[in-house]
């Protein structure tokens, strides 16, 4: 029996790498994205070639009405939900705290925090209803520890909220056979840095990484798949750094 996994932000980067690996490891997939339909379709095609059933569930996780639509598509396509990778996330342009605007802060927290919590809520409701339990992996960031001064303190604070949410939710549902953990990626080769206006960010910062290199989306995906899997059957409420030691 193939279990069903929802990955938010599955059209690119860490989400896309996780989808490809999850398909190979026996998961069927609900693939969320916001704008990049071509990216999501390419991921779905690769996953189907690896034997997975897939549905695309587009929607902006910052909008509660669109979260309802995302889960409507999942409920129509599958009769269960066993896993969630709460991965959709954004950064913004490098800025000091003195330059942060209300609009920017609202968007950052709507996507990275409120969206992630509402998606987890919907997933947990389904895992509880099935009685089968499940596994949730929230994607935090090393920024939650580092603070990201003079870069994006708002992003770092949003990811610290994810760490705390992970522990709280894990404790709430542990006795119901639902495990909840987080991954804190470090500097990972994806397009998120260019989207934040700094395509050269990895090159600039890798000298600060003990392993002296950036990580790949596949390296993060492998850690995510471990936490999702029964190999991590006694692991909950924890946060795993995938940072090359940073």
Shortest separation between residue 83's beta carbon and ligand NAP, angstroms: 16
* Order of all β-strands in the sheet with 239-242: 54-56, 27-31, 3-7, 83-86, 134-139, 178-185, 239-242
Active-site residue, selected from the candidate residues 33, 152, 155, 226: 155
Distance CA 170, CA 166 (A): 6
Distance CA 168, CA 227 (A): 17
Is position 224 an interface residue for ligand NAP (rule: CB under 6 A)? no
Q: 164 vs 123, 140, 167, 170, 179, CA distance in Å?
A: 18, 10, 5, 10, 15
Mode of pairing for the β-strands spanning 54-56 and 178-185: unpaired
Task: Pick the closer one to ligand NAP by CB: 70 or 170.
Answer: 70
Q: Which of 61, 108, 118, 180 binds ligand NAP (CB under 6 A)?
A: 61
Q: Which of 12, 23, 56, 157 binds ligand NAP (CB under 6 A)?
A: 12
Check if 155 is active-site: yes
Size of the residue set binding ligand NAP (CB under 6 A): 30
Is position 148 an interface residue for ligand NAP (rule: CB under 6 A)? no
Q: 14 vs 66, 76, 136, 173, 245, CA distance in Å?
A: 22, 26, 15, 26, 19
Stretch that binds ligand NAP, among 26-34, 71-79, 98-106, 203-211 (CB under 6 A): 26-34
Shortest separation between residue 144's beta carbon and ligand NAP, angstroms: 9
63: which residues sit within 8 A by CB, 6+ positions away?
none
Shortest separation between residue 107's beta carbon and ligand NAP, angstroms: 9
What 3-state DSSP class applies to 82?
coil
Shortest separation between residue 195's beta carbon and ligand NAP, angstroms: 5
Is position 14 an interface residue for ligand NAP (rule: CB under 6 A)? yes
Task: Pick the closer one to ligand NAP by CB: 83 or 185.
Answer: 185
Active site residues: 155
Would you tell me which residues interact with ligand NAP (CB under 6 A)? Answer: 8-15, 32-36, 60-62, 87-90, 111, 139, 141, 185, 187-188, 190-192, 195
């Amino acid at each position: 029996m193939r279990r069903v996994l929802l990955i938010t932000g599955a059209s690119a980067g860490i989400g896309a790498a996780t989808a490809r690996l999850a398909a190979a490891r026996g998961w069927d997939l609900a693939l969320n994205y916001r704008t990049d339909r071509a990216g999501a379709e390419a991921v779905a095609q690769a996953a189907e070639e690896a034997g997975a059933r897939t549905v695309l569930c587009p929607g902006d996780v910052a909008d509660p009405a669109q979260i309802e639509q995302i889960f409507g598509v999942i409920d129509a396509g599958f009769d269960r939900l066993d896993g969630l990778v709460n991965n959709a996330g954004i950064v913004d342009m490098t800025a000091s705290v003195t330059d942060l605007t209300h609009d920017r802060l609202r968007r950052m927290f709507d996507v990275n925090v409120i969206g992630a919590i509402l998606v987890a809520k919907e997933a947990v409701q389904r895992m509880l209803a099935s009685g089968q339990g499940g596994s949730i992996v929230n994607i935090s960031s090393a920024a939650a520890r580092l603070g990201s001064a003079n870069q994006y303190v708002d992003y770092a604070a949003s990811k610290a909220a994810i760490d705390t949410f992970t522990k709280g939710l894990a404790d709430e549902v542990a006795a119901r056979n639902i495990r909840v953990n987080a991954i804190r990626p470090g500097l990972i080769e994806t397009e998120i840095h260019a989207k934040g206006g700094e395509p050269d960010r990895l090159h600039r910062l890798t000298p600060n990484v003990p392993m002296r290199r950036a990580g790949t989306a596949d390296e993060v995906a492998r850690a995510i798949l471990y936490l999702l899997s029964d190999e991590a059957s006694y692991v909950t409420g924890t946060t795993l750094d995938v940072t090359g030691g940073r």
